[in-house]
Structure 1
Amino acid sequence: MAAIGRVVSSSGRFFSPNILRISISRFLKTSSNCRTVMPAWVIDKYGNNDVLRFTKNAIFPIINYPNEVIVKVFAAGLNPMDIHMRGGHGAATMSMKRDPLNMNQAGSEFPLILGREVSGVIMECGLDVKYFKEKDEVWASIPPWKRGSLAEFVVLSANEVSLKPKSLSHTEAAAMPYVANTAWSALVNTGGLTKENCAKKRVLILGGSGGVGTFAIQMLKAWGAHVTVTCAKNAERLVTGLGADHVVDYTAGPVQVPLAALDKFDLILDNIGGSTEHWALNLLKPWSGAKYVTLVTPFLQNTDALGIADGMMQTAATVASRALKHLAKGVHYRWGFFAPSGPALDEIREMVDAGQIHAVVEETFNFTQVPQAFAKVEKGHARGKTVVQISNGGT
């Protein structure tokens, strides 16, 4: 069967929409891919930190589609998403999205490899990959329905991968792709902000000291926005050092009180959720196109509890009712979602190498300390990112 054709992105990437599986031998060089197993941290069931298991016999990844690459992992970033996935949050939706080739003979996702961020080196390229070559240093965020980066190797689609910023080590680079793609999706794709229209806009980030918040502050300041952040008192120096114009301590009392005394905002990025929706939208400029974008949504909770079909129906009804309710008040209510994008990381790489965005790494662990790294992330109150060094190249 002939290939359907190629799609060329603005960054010069070549992808094929053809998903025809072709013989593995056409994609891999047998001289460097004789292995069948590799070391990795896996889970065999959902649960707490006790389900994490180290193995030297995880299945070695192979290229199944012509636009895929195999990456040798030097460093892996951890996120709250990994904690949620370890516990089974979103399992129903993820199982629906997973490629059958990434499931075992019984149709199960186990053993499952976690880790949503990677920095490393390309070891093999599929036949349709023209934008990358072997030995390229790359970074990427990994969709939650794919096997993750807490392993020696990982396979990814080329459109999820970007050349690593030259100014960052692998450890630093692994701290950024997932949160960068999440913030980009929320602020640009959903919020409509760009470097051309961001100047002088007033943006509020609720929960600004974690991974997404620290990245968003820097990107928005590079584009000229005025940025207000909520965080704990002991994180104030961190966020002001990243460029935040105004900081409100949420531990000093009801945070909505000092925020209500400020000029109203053009956009709010909510990393907190919960009760914030009851008062945060009142802080937006009415009838001006102002947007509230929350990253805390009930989508996965609905599909886990109700199943895919009913969960999606419940989710659609919820977001529609909330959007209409707030539109009547002159503001836009939106949900933001993580979206892996190599082209977005291309643009972010340029900002990093120009010195506009810096990696914020709170703590690093070696490959033997993955349970400790998970425990660190699970405590919350992050001041940047937690990174696991998989190999010596990650320093």
Structure 2
Amino acid sequence: MLALAATEAGEFRQTVSLQTVDIPTDPPDFLLVQVAWSDLNPVDLQKLHSRTTDFPFVSGFSGSGIVQETSDEVAFPVGASVCFLLDPTKKSGSYAQYCRVDRRAAALVPPQITLKEAASIPLAGCTAYESLRKLGLLTESTTSVQTLLIVGGAGGVGSWATRIARAWHPNLEIICTSDTSRDWCLANGASRCIPHVLQELPGGPHGSVDAILCLTEPTPTLMNAMSEVIRPYGSICLVVAGPSIRSLNLDFVFFKSVTVYTETVFSCFRTQFSHSQPSKMMAQILNWMSTGRICAPLSPCLDEIDADWTKATVPNGILERLHSGHVQGKLVMRIGDSSVAGNVHDTDFVDAR
């Protein structure tokens, strides 16, 4: 099969190219999915730097496509449209024509939803879903959270979180931070948008926000700012596990009785799905989309650039846009036959095995 694969560690511009690799065969009881769209996330490029062995390596950890082989014809029949999340420890990702998918990390895509839209759900959508649940915003009972601060609200997870939180809580005050994407955040449902430094929010012993979803590196400066604005007995969810996570100053957790959560949707693979069920989260988000409750926050830049994987590594291409770190909403990349990748009903893929 064809794949955008890296032959060694390093920058994608020097290491990634379209090449022929083996179709993944293990585990044999997994679904074999022909990929239509791959989700794009910053971790895709980070993995290219950190990997030291087992090349060629195919990045990409979620997407959508058509089931080609199955061990469960009832739940996932051949020809079914699915979206999926992949184990980040494996060498074969979604930047390829085929991938092996654990059924516990896949969901059927309803006919109302395109594969392009569905590809944006498994990683960013599920991360947003789990984070909001931990912060007490996805409960059937009345939440005590009146004000939600999303630090880094313009990206994929932030856009999903804003839309989901707004759909659940029409009267919730949602404050997003972004230095350049105010209009995008407001269009997603934010009540207002402020700079990243958080100086506009009242701080001190009483704080001003009930919950914080932090989607950027929790540097000492940012942690200090969040400790000021969080209210007593509030909650914070940290999603980015960069170098700063090793030396967090959590004094305020004690003095304000704040609960701090961490979130990575990939924990489902490490815990054998004992606590996290990505298939159920995907199905829930797909249901909301099919009923018109929310829509996928696809990046507006997809209207300006060629999202086909054959053009991914060209100057100003889609991987360059991902590498810039300044993307509104979700980036997705079209894989394989472009004539069917946008049509959920047409499963007549060109077989390039």
Give the aligned residue type for 1:110: F
Change (3 A) 1:51 1:198: farther
* Contact 1:196 1:223 (C-alpha < 8 Å) held by counterparts: no
Q: Secondary structure at the match of 1:203?
A: strand
Cα distance change of structure 1 residues 83 and 374 upon mapping to structure 2, 3 Å threshold: same
Q: Matched residues in 2 for 1:369 and 1:116: separation?
A: 19
| Bigger Rg, which one | 1
CA shift for structure 1 position 169: 1.7
Kept in 1: contact 2:252–2:258 (CA 8 A): no
In the alignment, is residue 256 of structure 1 matched against residue 208 of structure 2? Answer: no
Q: In the alignment, does 2:17 pair up with 1:53? A: yes
The superposition leaves residues 60-98 of structure 1 with CA deviations (integer Å, 9 ceiling, x where unpaired) of 1225243x101110111111111211211xx48xxxxxx
| Counterpart selection for 1:279 from 209, 225, 242 | 225
Aligned partners of 2:258, 2:215: CA distance in 1, in Å?
19
Q: Distance in 2 between matches of 1:187 and 1:358?
A: 17
Quick check: which one's helix share is greater? 1
Counterpart of 1:294 (choices 218, 230, 238) is 238
TM-score, normalised to structure 1, is: 0.73
- TM superposition shift of 1:383: 0.7
1:76 maps to 38
Partner residue of 1:180 out of 113, 121, 125: 125
Query: How far apart, in 1, do the equivalents of 2:142 and 2:210 lie?
Result: 10
Equivalent residues of 1:42, 1:112 under 8 A apart:
yes
Indicate which of 244, 247, 253 corresponds to 2:190: 244
Letter of the structure 2 residue corresponding to residue 331 of structure 1: V
SS in structure 2 at match of 1:220: helix
Alpha-carbon distance in structure 2 between the residues aligned to 1:175 and 1:367: 16
How many residue pairs get aligned? The number is 313
- Assess, with a 3 A threshold, how the Cα gap between structure 1 residues 79 and 62 changes in structure 2: closer, same or farther: same
Aligned match for 1:137, one of 81, 97, 103:
81
Residue number in structure 2 paired with 1:39 = 2
Please report the RMSD computed on the Cα atoms of aligned residues, expressed in angstroms: 2.4
- 2:121 counterpart of 1:121: no
Partner of 1:268: 212
1:230 to 172, 177, 180: 177
Q: Runs (4+) of structure 1 moved beyond 6 Å?
A: none
Q: 1:102-132, CA deviations, whole angstroms, 9 ceiling, x for partnerless residues?
A: xxxxxx4311111122111111112x56421
Point out where structure 2 has 5 or more consecutive residues left out of the alignment: 269-277, 343-353
Question: Shift of residue 42 of structure 1?
Answer: 0.6
Q: Percent sequence identity over matched residues?
A: 22
1:47 partner letter: G
Within 5 Å, give how 1:354-369 maps onto structure 2: 354-362=291-299, 363=302, 365-369=307-311
Task: Give the secondary structure class of the aligned counterpart of 1:358.
Answer: coil
- From 314, 322, 332, give the equivalent of 2:259: 332
CA distance in 1, matches of 2:195, 2:141: 29
Q: Is the 8 A contact 1:74 1:389 kept in 2?
A: yes
Matched, 1:87 2:49: yes
Equivalent of 2:312 in 345, 349, 370: 370
Q: Where does residue 98 of structure 2 map in the other structure?
A: 153
Give, in angstroms, the shift of residue 270 of structure 1. Answer: 0.6
In structure 2, how many angstroms separate the alpha carbons of the residues matched to 1:170 and 1:70?
16
Shift of 1:328: 3.1
